[in-house]
Chains A and B, each alone.
Chain A
Amino acid sequence: DVKVTQSSRYLVKRTGEKVFLECVQDMDHENMFWYRQDPGLGLRLIYFSYDVKMKEKGDIPEGYSVSREKKERFSLILESASTNQTSMYLCASSFNSRGYGYTFGSGTRLTVV
Chain B
Amino acid sequence: SQKIEQNSEALNIQEGKTATLTCNYTNYSPAYLQWYRQDPGRGPVFLLLIRENEKEKRKERLKVTFDTTLKQSLFHITASQPADSATYLCAPQTGANNLFFGTGTRLTVIP
Contacts and interface: CB of A to CB of B under 8 A. Distances in A.
Interaction A to B: yes
Interface of A: 4, 31, 33, 40-43, 48, 50, 56, 90, 92, 94-107, 109
A94 B102 CA distance: 19
Contact of A99 (B42, B47, B49, B89): B49
Contacts of B43: 4, 90, 92, 104-107
A31 B96 CA distance: 8
A80 B96 CA distance: 31
10 closest Cβ contacts across the A-B interface?
Answer: A101-B46, A104-B43, A42-B103, A43-B101, A107-B43, A104-B44, A90-B43, A98-B96, A96-B96, A42-B101
B32 interface: yes
Interface of B: 31-32, 34, 36, 41-47, 49, 51, 89, 93, 95-97, 99, 101-104
A41 B46 contact: no
Given A40-B103, A42-B101, A106 B42 contact: yes
Given A40-B103, A42-B102, A99-B32, A94 B44 contact: no
Contacts of A95: 96
Contacts of B101: 42-43
Contacts of A50: 96-97
A40 B9 CA distance: 9
Contacts of A102: 34, 44, 46, 99
B96 A94 contact: yes
Q: Which of B31, B32, B36, B103 has its CB near the most chain A CB atoms (within 10 A)?
A: B103
25 contacts: A4-B43, A31-B96, A41-B103, A42-B102, A42-B103, A42-B104, A48-B97, A50-B96, A50-B97, A92-B43, A94-B96, A95-B96, A96-B96, A97-B96, A98-B31, A98-B32, A99-B49, A99-B51, A101-B47, A101-B49, A102-B34, A104-B45, A105-B43, A106-B42, A109-B41
